[in-house]
Amino acid sequence: MPSFDIVSKVDSPAVDNGVSGVIKEISTRYDFKGSVCKLERDGEEIVMHADDELKRKQMEDLLIVHLTRKNIDTNCLQFQKPESSSGNSIRQKVFVKQGIDREISQKIIKTIKNSKIKVQSSIQGDEVRISGKKRDDLQQTIKLVKDMDLKFPLQYINFRD
């Protein structure tokens, strides 16, 4: 029985390369000269330290640009509220989301069931498995999910006949 998986995974080495590109650009840019702006990555969390709101916004824009260059969908970034840190600086945490949330999985499954396409769908951890008798039904399901306009990066993998 043909099947495929809907997942949301981010290429971790590409994120590391994007973060290191931002760090390199911050160290060479004239408008960051003499500031203590820095960027750190710890697992699925990126922490930005900036002197003021303007520099924080510039670092946020740089992060988005560098990750876009590495072909990473920036909808996977979840920016937290900026908070005050020691020495009149600003700290902001950015989470790199991996996996599909339960609510989004249920929304996908509900939309597929309401479409009357003859496929079975199930939630398996942080991914959704779709299986059906015909390959055309699976391709129609992929198109349906792409047209849902979710603000979440999705990939369609393990397409098996």
For the stretch 62-120, pLDDT in tens is 999 999 999 998 888 999 999 987 778 899 999 999 888 888 999 999 999 998 889 99
Backbone angles phi, psi at 32, to 5 degrees: -100, 5
Q: Among the three residues 65, 96, 127, which one is the final residue of a domain in this structure?
A: 96
Q: Among the three residues 70, 96, 122, which one is the final residue of a domain in this structure?
A: 96
Q: In the chain, what percentage of residues exceed pLDDT 70?
A: 100
- Specify whether 63 is located in the same domain as 35: yes
- Specify whether 91 is located in the same domain as 148: no
Report how far residue 22's alpha carbon sits from residue 39's, in angstroms, rounded to the nearest whole number. Answer: 8
**Amino acid 62: pLDDT:** 93
Range of the domain at 42: 12-96
Q: Among the three residues 45, 64, 96, which one is the final residue of a domain in this structure?
A: 96
**Amino acid 160: pLDDT:** 82
What residues form DSSP beta bridges with 93?
Answer: 47
Is residue 136 over pLDDT 80?
Answer: yes
- Specify whether 29 is located in the same domain as 90: yes
Contact of 66 with 15, CB cutoff 8 Å: no
- Specify whether 70 is located in the same domain as 130: no
Report how far residue 57's alpha carbon sits from residue 45's, in angstroms, rounded to the nearest whole number. Answer: 18
Provide the domain count of the chain. Answer: 2
Q: What is the CATH number of the domain that holds 143?
A: 3.30.70.860
- Specify whether 113 is located in the same domain as 83: no
Q: What is the CATH number of the domain that holds 72?
A: 3.30.70.990
Which three-class secondary structure state does DSSP give residue 132? strand
- Specify whether 88 is located in the same domain as 139: no
- Specify whether 58 is located in the same domain as 31: yes
- Specify whether 88 is located in the same domain as 106: no
- Specify whether 52 is located in the same domain as 71: yes
